[in-house]
Amino acid sequence: MEPTLITYLLYVLISVALTVWVGRTLHKNGRAFLIDVFADRADLADSVNHLLVVGFYLVNFGYMSLALKLATVVTTATTAVEALSYKVGLVLVVLGGMHFFNLFVFSRIRRHKVVYDAPRPVAPDMMLPPLPAAGPRAG
């Protein structure tokens, strides 16, 4: 096999392994977050979690395959390692970016719920016996 093809194969192997590892981590640890957000709906949490991970895989595998082609000709083991390292580095950076983006999405979803569920943020200035409802018309 020519060196370029070996480099490509190694690149695909490493990138797929990394993507699957990050995707599984996200899937496993994102679930707890989402279960908290969709309090009584574990099915909904699992569904959102799954959809997020599918998007994550699509973006990463898409990028991986777009970035496959080497600009230089690989002849020696040294150039192969250099080329491989460069490509895998790019994949890692994209994975990192996507990972933080996912965390951002999770925390946004959660913050939204925290705000929505918040009780009155200030203490009353005084307490009266519970009032009868006022008339239906605004004055």
Q: Site residues (CB under 8 A) for other proteins?
A: 115-135, 138-139
Give the angle 61-52-111 at the CA atoms, nearest 5°: 140
Nearer to other proteins, 1 or 130 (CB): 130
Q: Give least dist CB 133 to other proteins, A.
A: 7
**131 residue type, one letter:** L
Q: Give least dist CB 114 to other proteins, A.
A: 9
Nearer to other proteins, 69 or 121 (CB): 121
Nearer to other proteins, 43 or 117 (CB): 117
Q: Give least dist CB 137 to other proteins, A.
A: 8
Give the angle 7-9-14 at the CA atoms, nearest 5°: 95
d(CA 139, CA 136): 9
Can you spell out the DSSP letters for 85-114? HHHHHHHHHHHHHHHHHHHHHHHHHHHHHH
Q: Give least dist CB 41 to other proteins, A.
A: 16
Nearer to other proteins, 69 or 120 (CB): 120
